[in-house]
Amino acid sequence: MPTYRGHLDKMPTELAAPVNYWLALDDSRVPLNALLGETLRIRHGGMIHCSHCGRVTSKSFSQGYCYPCFRKLAQCDLCILSPERCHFDAGTCREPDWAQRFCMTEHFVYLANSSGVKVGITRASQMPTRWIDQGASQALPIARVQTRQQAGFVEAALRRHVRDTTDWRAMLKGDPEPADLAAARNRLFELCADELGELTTRFGIQAIQPLASAEPVAIDYPVREYPAKVSAWNLDKTPEVSGRLLGIKGQYLILDSGVFNVRKFSAYEIVLEI
């Protein structure tokens, strides 16, 4: 039987009909769409190597980092989850050079429909990857913003009226009801006109640009069968996972024995048997 060994990483994807997926194991890329219907066995030998520095760690922090890197790296800071809390201007950023490349760059605010309509932000280079990673069936960019912090301020205003999280269990049970994302965008812009106006006054008219004419993107996933009940495998508790591959959505493998969140176990050394 084909066998592969390496450290897990976030699954690379390609927007197609359906989305193409690969399993990343160090430098190897295992095509997954062709494995639908096959039985997979994933075994964790107990080793976790930090995805940044490579040192052995007994526990993974923030999806693949050792504790020293988790404490040191800007990409693990709280402001990555809450961009409006960016402290770059205060001079306290952990890695100012990294922030210049990743945070002080153009971002987009978007609406997505994965388990219902939600708001989110992403770098321009991460569309449509970000939407695929969240298992969105529909997505629509609604504003172009100059920095990550500014995108966070826009998101914070909008999330008073729409959720900013995905119900991953609902997402893995099937496709959501189709939503009119353009109508949702227009409604949110009306509800948040005062807050958005204040942000434009603060940062300048070019900082936040609504995208009134953007078209929604539809995303189809390689899923033969959704589970009636969603239960998740955990390599820390069960070091061997096996089951027939029924589908792939978001960063999850849908097996007939349960779902497996690949991204959660980034940096885990595993053996994959097909």
Give the DSSP letter string of 213-227: TPPPEE----BS---
Counting residues of the chain whose pLDDT is more than 90, the rounded percentage is 98
pLDDT value of residue 41: 98
The answer on pLDDT for 234 being more than 90 is yes
pLDDT value of residue 142: 98
CB atoms near residue 264 (< 10 Å) = 19
At residue 84, φ and ψ (nearest 5 deg) are -65, -10
For residue 170, the surrounding DSSP H or E stretch is helix 168-171
CB of 129 closer than 8 Å to CB of 108: no
* Alpha carbons 157 and 155: distance in angstroms, whole number: 5
- If pLDDT is split at 50, 70 and 90, which confidence band does 1 have? confident
* Alpha carbons 249 and 246: distance in angstroms, whole number: 10
The answer on pLDDT for 261 being more than 90 is yes
pLDDT value of residue 260: 98
Angle at CA 115, nearest 5°, toward 212 and 74? 75
The answer on pLDDT for 210 being more than 90 is yes
Q: What is the pLDDT of residues 84-134, one digit of tens each?
A: 999 999 999 999 999 999 999 999 999 999 999 999 999 999 999 999 999
The residue-averaged pLDDT of 172-188 equals 97
pTM of the predicted structure, to 2 decimals = 0.95
Q: What is the pLDDT of residues 60-76, one digit of tens each?
A: 999 999 999 999 999 99
Q: Give the β-pairing of 20-25 and 28-31.
A: antiparallel
Q: What are the strands, taking DSSP E only, across the chain?
A: 3-9, 13-14, 20-25, 28-31, 39-48, 107-113, 117-123, 138-145, 208-210, 217-218, 240-249, 252-255, 258-261, 268-273
pLDDT value of residue 189: 97
Q: Assign 58 to helix, strand or coil.
A: coil
Average pLDDT, the chain: 96
Q: Which amino acid is at 169?
A: R
Q: What is the pLDDT of residues 13-57, one digit of tens each?
A: 999 999 999 999 999 999 999 999 999 999 998 899 999 999 999
